[in-house]
Amino acid sequence: MSTLTTKDEDIAAKRLSSANLAPIALNLIAFTLAIGFWWGITAAKLVVLPGPAEVFQRAIELIASGQLPLDIASSLRRVLTGFLLGVAAAIPVGFLMGWYGPVRALIEPYIQFFRMVPPLAIIPLAIVTMGIDEAPKVFVIFLASFLSCVVATYQGVISVDRTLISAARVLGANDGVLFHRVIIPASIPFILVGVRIGLGSAWATVVAAELIAAQSGLGFRMQQAQLYYDLPTIFVSLVTIGILGLLMDRIVQATERRLTRWQERAR
């Protein structure tokens, strides 16, 4: 009997391993196809763009000169600072808006107002009022991340099944226990969706901010390359932003899977 159980466990482990490897294999296939398509259209002169080999060679040169690592470090520092501050502020504000009606009535109009104003439109005002140092760049990233995450958190709180709340009340749960055991777990999927959206907004905002006022960063490097029609450098920056954003998004997805193991998922 124990032998049969062990065999069953081995089979289940192999199936789980295969299921985990399948998406990775498909991702690699998609990546290879994209590189092949890119190489094909540039080799056939269908578009005036640098090919993969040329961009890769330029990336090696930028890494060797130290420019690319410096730009990555500058952009990452700005994104992570603004993004983490925005998420840290959005989660408690979203919970307060979702749980307390008066707080929602006071705050929601401002949230909706600023959501209609693109963070990129605030960059000139931020530069005029805060100068051209790091503060305006971090602020607009903070704003973009905050607005994305606060709405998702608020939506998560108001979407909690009222039956669960009533059941917890009947069992004697106070507000603290209710928040800890019911509201927060049920809201986590919504919060992490907001975090992923905020992460994308943070990268879009930092590139725009660096295009206007910066001395380093991936957006700054693209602006400098544009002046000299240096397409390979522009492509290196674009690809680097995409890779960094993808890696950070995968980290958020892994966190989401870990925190929402209880949630049934579509395969």
- Identify whether 266 is part of a domain: no
Distance in angstroms (rounded) separating the CA atoms of residues 169 and 172:
5
- Identify whether 265 is part of a domain: no
Kindly report the pTM of this predicted structure: 0.81
- Write the CA distances from 89 to 145, 188, 237, integer angstroms: 10, 15, 30
- Return the closest-CA partner of residue 114 out of 89, 133, 131: 89
Domain identity same for 114 and 219: yes
Task: Evaluate whether 97 touches 103 at the Cβ level (below 8 Å).
Answer: yes
Domain identity same for 39 and 146: no
Domain identity same for 191 and 220: yes
- Identify whether 264 is part of a domain: no
- Identify whether 59 is part of a domain: yes
Q: Containing domain of residue 40, as a range?
A: 1-49
Q: What is the total count of domains within the chain?
A: 2
Q: Is 30 exposed, middle or buried (0-12, 13-18, 19+ CB in 10 A)?
A: exposed
Domain identity same for 39 and 119: no
Q: In tens digits, what is the pLDDT along the chain, a chain of 267 residues?
A: 444 455 555 554 455 455 556 777 887 888 889 889 988 888 888 878 888 999 999 999 999 999 999 999 999 999 999 999 999 999 999 988 988 888 889 998 989 898 888 877 888 888 888 877 888 889 999 999 999 899 999 988 888 877 877 787 787 777 777 777 788 888 888 899 899 999 988 998 888 888 776 788 898 899 889 888 899 999 999 999 999 999 999 898 888 888 777 665 555
Using DSSP's 3-state secondary structure scheme, residue 131 falls into coil
Sequence letter at residue 182: V
Q: Is 121 exposed, middle or buried (0-12, 13-18, 19+ CB in 10 A)?
A: exposed
Q: Is 64 exposed, middle or buried (0-12, 13-18, 19+ CB in 10 A)?
A: exposed
49 CB-near residues (< 8 Å, 6+ apart): 41, 42, 231, 235
- What element of type H or E holds 207? helix 184-212
